[in-house]
Amino acid sequence: MGHFRKLIVAAASAAMLAGASIATAQPAPPPAADQAPIDPAKLALAHKMLDAQMGQINMPALLRNLDQQMFAQMMTGSPKADPAMQRRLEAAVEKAQAEMFPHMLDSMAAAFARNLSQQELQDAVGFYSSPSGRAIVQKMPAIMNEVVGAVIQWMPRMREAVIESLCADNGCTPAQREALEHPQPPPPPAR
């Protein structure tokens, strides 16, 4: 499995693990049918940029960890998961990833090609192919772990500050403040 493919698979696995937070996000609408076709040269550059940007990451350990978490989440609530079922689930995930990867890659490249100029794409390829660009890409997983940790650490304080500001500026009742401080989870989606 190529490095870039592993990164995409890891991103998809992380998205699957995100579950509810992803469900509340608004995805970008697909490109309009009347949109001008993408210049093939720009599309090729976008593919080259993605490969240069992501191809340096060594993903095997991250993928194994994400796969284990995903399998554990998918098996939650099921009767004691037997090893045979886990192997079948793992095979199904690998099959789906192999089938979806080319489409995901093409969609990503198309998005970059639509939104960046040819010069910007060329500059990005040059940067990510440079020693500094490769170093940044290789260090990005550690950087992102640290960034995510910092964001998680600050979120409760930010939430408290938002509630305090909202109530100070608008006068919350004790019941409203309680609802803000201890929100109830949304009901599960109807099936």
Whether the predicted pLDDT of 109 surpasses 80: yes
Contact call for residues 89 and 74 (beta carbons, < 8 A):
yes
Alpha-carbon span 114 to 1, nearest angstrom: 28
Domain ranges of the chain: 1-8+37-73+82-129, 140-183
Which of 60-74, 115-129, 139-153, 154-168 holds the top average pLDDT?
A: 115-129
The more confident residue out of 55 and 119 is 119
Q: Which tens digits make up the pLDDT trace of 57-105?
A: 544 444 555 556 556 666 555 555 677 877 887 788 778 777 887 788 8
Name the CA dihedral angle for 60, 62, 67, 68, rounded to a multiple of 10 degrees.
110
The more confident residue out of 29 and 150 is 150
